[in-house]
Structures are given as C-alpha cells and as structure tokens.
Chain A
Amino acid sequence: MMQHLSAMPGRAATSVRMYAVAIGGVLLVGVGLLYLAGHDVGQSISALWRGAFGSYDALVSSTLVRAIPLMLLGVAVSVAFRVGAFNVGGDGQFLAGAAAGAWLALLDFPIPAPLRILIALIAGAAAGALWGFIPAVLRRRWGVFEVLSTLMMNFIAAYGVSYLVRGPLQEPTRIYPQSATIANATHLPLLLPGTRLHSGFLIAVACAIGAWIWLSFRESGFRARLTGANPVAAARAGLIETERVTFRVFLASAALCGLAGAVEVLGVTFALYENLSPGYGFTAIAVALLAWLHPLGVIVSAILMAALDAGASAMQREAGVPSVTVWVIQGLLVLAVLATRSFAERNPRFRFARL
C-alpha cells in the first residue's frame, strides 16, 4: 500500500472522466445519506453551497482562508509521500511552527514589522523542520518506521503547546491558556480589504507551484520521484543516495508544515492556543491523496476540502445537519479516488484507455 502510494504518478493517470464519475458518485451517496438520516435534502445542500461558495464572503473569508493551511500541509504530504517518506506528523510540525512563529512575533524587539513577519515565518519553517528532524534521523540511522515516530511526535507537540500557553508564552493576565495577541503590525497583510483572506494564500499557492516545478523539472526533484517509485533501482541504476534524498525531502516537508503553522498564527488566529489545529495534518493527507499527490492538484483539492468544511458549518447552523455527515463524505471521497486508481491499475482496458 505504502509503496503503491509513493509510486502514484504526478500527471492524471486515469481518465479524467472516471475521476469525475467517482467524485459525482460520492456526492450522490452523500445526498442519499442526508435523505436516509431524515434531513431535508434540498435545504441541506443549499446551506452547504451557501456556506462554501454561496457568497463572496463565504468563498473568500471562509473557504479560501480554511484552504491555506490545508494547501501548505497538503503540498508537504504530497512531496513526502512521493519520495516514499510517510510523514503523518503534519499536525505536530504545524504546531511546532505555530509556536515558534507566535513566539518570535510576540518578542519585544525593535525590528521593523515586515522583517519581523519574515523572521517569524522562517522560524516557523525551521521549527517544523526541527520537529521532522527527529523522525527523519530515526529513520535514516535505525530504520524506525516514520509513520509511528511522526504520529508520536504529534502528541509531544500538542502537549508542548499546552505547556507553552500555560507557562512561558501565557498572556500577561495569566487567566486564559493562550498566548498574548500578536500586534496588528505583525499580522500577515490582507489580500482583499474587508475580508479575512490574508497573503498566506499567495504563499500557499506559490509553494504548490514551486513544489510542482521542483518535482517535474529539477534533477533533485526527479531523484526524489525515482527514490519514491523504486528505491532499489534508484540506487543501483541511478546511483542515487536514496537515504540522503529521503532525509532531505522529509525535512523539507516538515518545514512546509511548520510554515503552515506560522502562517495560521500570523494570518488567522493571531495567538497560540491549544487545539490550534483541528486535525489539519490528517485532513491534509486526504487533500494530498485526492490530488493524486500532485502539488497543483493540491490547490484544487485543498479548496474543495475547505469548502466542504465551511459548508458543513453552515449546514449545521441552518439545516441542523451534523457536520459529521460532511466528514463521512470527505472520507468517501478519498476512498473513491484510491479505488478509481486501483481499478485502473487492474483493468487493462482502462489502463490502455488512459495512455
């Protein structure tokens, strides 16, 4: 399964039509679920649509803002999976980056604001990389399976943030378990005045495009893809130092996750607190798989997932449909995409149809 994932090619391997059919089918199943649960299907769907895309405000302030962390983390997951490093520690690296970003943004130091933002973002990326460094070294030196180690690091990060917001980084009144609020000057600039969409969106899109260019057109990105597709052949036929390639890409992936944390703190929450990430690191895996590990696809799938999230809130508010329903749909989406892929692999007719 793992090898299978890392070997997913970047360009759409199955015909787009099959992919569309799969997604359409899942949405129909979702409608069926709503009906079976006794909800007013029309009302629920229209609430979902209104919450996600229905108005300028819903689209820009809700959906696109939610898409930013999913996009950055989704790119990070795609890149790591493509090299065969199964970094499921996005959440932990995200929190490490958020903590570092918040800390530096709050430091009382006479630096001009733009520079301070830059430093906070870099610190976030560095902290994420540091958080990924431990599992990466464990894998390289002792062959520790990164799925376990990164998952464990998530817990350490979560409790580490709990400690910080009750200790060194707690707000001055010492009442709430959260950090002080970051000054307005140090917020990421808004992209569209009057909305909540901040310039982190550009950072995320740039990272996705950058990752695509790197994977597709740089020799180092090609080495990463070879290493993921067949590490033995990469080493024997390509004379690639596969462990080193994996290690570096692992760190880069963790750095992107850390950057996502810093962007979230400087762009949306303006403070560090517990439960900062509602499982972004895991949703990002779904985002990456939905996009077939293609960084450009991640831009679309992150917005789709964010729209479902935003719509779910509206659906719960307006139609009384529990947002869990949408999570079921999100899960089914990923399953459908993976199944489509396996189907195409096994069915020679479709295998040739996609050439």
Chain B
Amino acid sequence: MAFCVSTYRFVSAATTSLELLGISKRFGEVVALDAANLQLRRGTVHALLGENGAGKTTLMRIAYGLLKPDAGAVHIDARPIRFHSPADAIQRGIGMVQQHFSLVPAMTAVENFALGNRGRFDPRKESERLLEQAATLQLSIAPDMPAHSMSAPEQQQLEIAKALGRDCRILILDEPTAVLSPMHSAALLQWIRSYADQGRSVVLITHKLRDAAAVADDVTVLRHGRTVLQGRISDIAEAELLAAMLGAPLAQSELTVPRPHRPTSTPPLGSLQSVSAEEWARRERIADVSLEINAAEILGVAGLERSGHRLLLRVLAGRHVPTKGIVRIPPRIAFIPEDRQREALATQLDLRENVALRGAGNRTGWSRWRYWSSLTRALLKDFDVHAVNERVPAHTLSGGNQQRLVLARELADAPMLIVAENPTRGLDARATANLLARLRAARDDGAAIVFYSSDLDELVALADRIVLAYAGRVREAERSRDAIGRALVGTT
C-alpha cells in the first residue's frame, strides 16, 4: 500500500456503506476540499486523519448534510444520495458528534437527548432510554442535569448517547477523545470497536495516531483538502502515515522529549497557602490546598473531571477568588483555558480586538488600534495563524487557528506565569510540537508554567514536577505515567 491517486478505490462498492467521491468545497477564496474521497466499509472503524485545516471536519459535515458540496457525490449503500439537511442524513442512519457540541445549555440531559424526536415527550421513558444508552457506553450521565453545568466530557457523552438514540448505522465522531481523560478515552475506543463489530460503521476524525492505530481498520489521510493516502491501517507504517499527514517527516527534535529541567533554588514565584475555593455551578471545589510555583519550572497538574484541577488552575491564574487562604501570584499571567470560545475569545469581534482583549480591564483612555493591528499582524505571522487579515471576525478561523491566536496573545508580553489547560486540544502534531517547544522555551527564560493535560504521556513528558488533584485535594506525585494513572482513579 503506497500513496494513492485520489480517484483510486481500494474496496469494491458492494461492501461500502458510505462513499464520498471527488468532493470539492470552497469557502470564498479558501479551498477546503479538492476532490476528496473516502470509502467507509460496513462493520469497520475508519480513521480520518489530517492536520488542522486539512478539511476533515468539512468532509464529514458534507456527509452529514450540514454543508453542500460544490462538486462530487455522496453514495450510501452504493446509491447516490443528495442531502438537503442533517435531517435527511439522520433518516439515512447517519449520526455525527461535532467537536463543538450542539447542546441547548438551559435544557437537561434528557431534554437534549429527546430534542429533535417526533411525538410526545415522555420524560420518564426518555430518561430510561438515555440511561440504557449510557449503560451500553459505560458512561455516567445524570438525566436531570442541565447541559450548561456539565463538563466537556459529560457533554460529549451526552452527544454520543443522543446520536445513538436515533439508531444510526454510521456514526461520525469529530475528535472524540480530545476532551476525555485516558480512562474515558480507552473506554470510548473500546466501545467504538464493539459498535463496529455489530456491523455498523464509525468514522473517527482524529489527529491522534495512537487512537487511530488502536481501533481503526481503515484510514484516510487528508492534506490541504485532498485525499493523500487511504487503505487498511495494518498495511501502513506509522512513519508513512505521519509523512502523509504532514507532507514531510518531522524533524527528530520535535518528536523526542528532552530530559526534565532542574529548577534553580530561588524563592518561589508564587504560592497557595491553605486555599479553599468552590464553584457551585460546576459542583467543583478544592479544599486546603498549599502549593508553591517556581520560576523556570513546569508544574504539571493531573486530574479527572471534577477533581478540582479546573478550579486550581483558575485560582493560580487569578481568575477565581478563593473562599479561604492566601494566594500569592506574580503580576503578568497568561491564561489559556480549555474552552477558548467561551473563556478566551469574543468570536464576533475581529482578531485585533481579540488580541486587545488581554488586559482590557486595566487600560484607560484612547484605544491604540494602530498598535493592536500591527501587534496582531506580527502574532499571526509568528504563530502561523491562517487568517485573511487581522480585521476578520474570530469565528471565521478554524478551531486550531483560534487556539493559536489565544496562545499568541497570551504569550505575547513574556508572562511570568503561564497557566495552560489542555492547550494542545485541537492542535495537530506539528502545532502541538511547536506549542510544547514554546512552553519549554518560556520555562528556560525563567517563566513558571502550570500545565494541565488530559493526555498523561504529554504531561509526563513536559512537566518538571507533577501534582495531582483528586476529590478536591492536591498532592505531589511521581513523574510516572502508571503511578499517576492509578492515583487518578484512586487505586494507589
């Protein structure tokens, strides 16, 4: 199996459940898809790989009827189909869980679950159906919890349950493990496998090669909107996949992890002393936490959902006022939250205004828009953010570009403390390597970094020291993936 020409079919039409042929899509002057192909076989898991902006999500949105292709054909069970809306796709047995969830915040889990169904809404019956779906998925969903107070993994679990509740044969998952803890990811991947083994098909959009390798039968790699590689994943070497995704092999230094850095013995840059805090809306709290953060050190934070890590990061970043205790933190703090659209960007405003957002609470007088424009242009270039110019609204950027914009803004003024929460979420391999290199460089320049990642490998590789949050308590942990993994689920 080598590189394929884009019109090549590696399976016969008889065994495909979904086939996308020569799909092209343009957004204005941006070519998102250029004659892309994908053949999904019945009873298989199909990994759709590619860098940010490669067109993975766009292709699947076309399959789900959210977008109409400019050219190309969609076949289901070897028959050409035209979708006018997702309703048509759902009727044909296609379900999709998007990367940005589409739940109604004010509605409870069960109401969201039943949304879009026909007929009378019977809460008790729907709750039972929801719990049934959750049980097969081994997920914990509280039917009466409003969506707005759910964590990202909980929302995603609900989305999956919702898609399955419609009895779909073809399930499309867009970066499903991006927000999940390792334990939940493993459970989800295992479930995806068993779901496909029942004769249904799954498209897994991802940029995590490990996830793809663990569960997928087939793989399609997109780059710049073209299908550059497709075939059985067992036939393809990992290096070949990487090369197809990135266009060129990554430099060795980007993949290997340097040895942990030894901090010099200077007084701590900041500290928490017996700090307690709580956030009722999210049912999260931390109690009696004491912690020191040092200059030139990366402090890794590990924790599962609702273990308190989220609150810990916000207290350290000066974004949450604790109920008790003493917080000492430096003045210039960069804060990179996990949910960039909610906590870091005003997506209707333009890029320049989003850059000026940082520190807006402390400025007075006239706005220096000329300065912000030139700063934004420099940041876009420096951080490789793809945008037409600095005056476009932030919602026109892809997820990865939004993330890079936030990073660029927060790191622009050489912060003394960087608090980053899953900063590589939604970034591809190259952008991740780039980000981690930047964090290391900031550390070597003397900044303190507090870094949370739901990917334990990433955490162990990057952090100089690790603390773990468990049920609102925070303690030091060994720098070992297994030890942390066990501690997180409470089985030390």
Contacts and interface: CB of A to CB of B under 8 A. Distances in A.
Given A236-B337, A352-B28, A9 B393 contact: yes
Interface in B351-400: 353, 356-367, 369, 388, 392-393, 396
A32 B28 CA distance: 36
A234 B348 contact: no
A86 to B, nearest CB: 17
Contacts of A9: 348-349, 393
A237 B388 contact: no
B319 interface: yes
B235 interface: no
Contact of B360 (A8, A223, A352): A223
A241 interface: yes
B343 A240 contact: no
B337 A219 contact: no
Given A217-B366, A237-B343, A352-B30, A229 B348 contact: yes
Contacts of B29: 352
A226 B393 contact: no
A355 B388 contact: yes
Contacts of A348: 27-28, 67
Interface in A199-252: 216-223, 225-226, 229-230, 232-241
A226 B319 contact: no
A334 to B, nearest CB: 20
B366 A237 contact: no
A230 B345 contact: yes
B367 A237 contact: no
Nearest to B364: A219
Contact of B357 (A234, A241, A349, A351): A234
Contacts, number: 100
Contacts of A234: 346, 357, 360-361
Interface in A40-76: none
Contact of A236 (B335, B347, B359, B392): B335
Given A239-B361, A352-B28, A230 B367 contact: no
Given A351-B396, A355-B392, A238 B366 contact: no
B343 A232 contact: yes
B344 interface: yes
A241 B361 contact: yes
B124 interface: no
B242 to A, nearest CB: 31
B342 interface: yes
Nearest to B317: A236
B452 to A, nearest CB: 15
B319 A236 contact: yes
Counting contact residues on chain B (CB < 8 A from A), the size range is 35 or more
A355 B347 contact: no
A237 B348 contact: no
A16 interface: no
A233 B345 contact: yes
B319 A238 contact: no
Contact of A222 (B344, B358, B362, B367): B367
A7 interface: yes
A111 interface: no
Given A7-B348, A232-B343, A238 B359 contact: yes
A353 interface: yes
B346 A226 contact: yes
A338 to B, nearest CB: 15
A233 B367 contact: no
B31 to A, nearest CB: 12
Among the interface residues A233, A240, A351, which one has the most CB atoms of the partner chain B within 10 A? A233
Contacts of A225: 349, 353
Contacts of A226: 346, 349, 353, 357, 360
B361 A233 contact: no
A225 B349 CA distance: 9
Interface in A333-355: 348-349, 351-353, 355
A230 B345 CA distance: 7
Contacts of B366: 217-219
Given A219-B367, A232-B342, A239 B396 contact: no
A8 B342 CA distance: 17
A32 to B, nearest CB: 29
Given A222-B360, A229-B349, A239-B362, A353 B344 contact: no
Contacts of A223: 360-361
Interface in A1-54: 7-9, 13
A222 B346 contact: no
Contact of B369 (A217, A236, A353): A217
A351 B392 CA distance: 10
A118 B201 CA distance: 75
Given A232-B342, A352-B27, A239 B359 contact: yes
A240 B335 contact: no
A9 B343 CA distance: 19
A218 to B, nearest CB: 6
Contacts of A238: 357-361
B343 A222 contact: no
A230 B346 CA distance: 5
A233 B349 CA distance: 12
Nearest to A244: B361
Contact of A218 (B314, B353, B359, B367): B367
Interface in B313-347: 314, 318-319, 335, 337, 342-347
Nearest to A352: B28
A239 B337 CA distance: 14
Contacts of B348: 7-9, 229-230
Nearest to B356: A222
A353 B361 CA distance: 34
A287 B357 CA distance: 29
Among the interface residues A218, A232, A236, which one has the most CB atoms of the partner chain B within 10 A? A236
A95 to B, nearest CB: 34
Nearest to A221: B367
Nearest to A13: B393
Contacts of A349: 27-28
B316 to A, nearest CB: 13
A43 B344 CA distance: 57
B359 A230 contact: no
A222 B367 CA distance: 8
B360 A236 contact: no
A219 B359 CA distance: 11
30 contacts: A7-B348, A8-B348, A217-B366, A217-B367, A217-B369, A218-B365, A218-B366, A218-B367, A219-B360, A219-B366, A219-B367, A220-B364, A223-B361, A229-B348, A232-B342, A233-B345, A234-B357, A236-B319, A236-B337, A236-B343, A238-B357, A238-B359, A238-B360, A241-B361, A348-B27, A348-B28, A348-B67, A351-B396, A355-B28, A355-B388
Given A220-B364, A349-B27, 17 more contacts: A7-B348, A217-B369, A218-B365, A218-B367, A219-B367, A226-B357, A230-B346, A233-B346, A235-B319, A236-B335, A237-B344, A237-B358, A238-B358, A238-B361, A239-B362, A351-B27, A352-B28
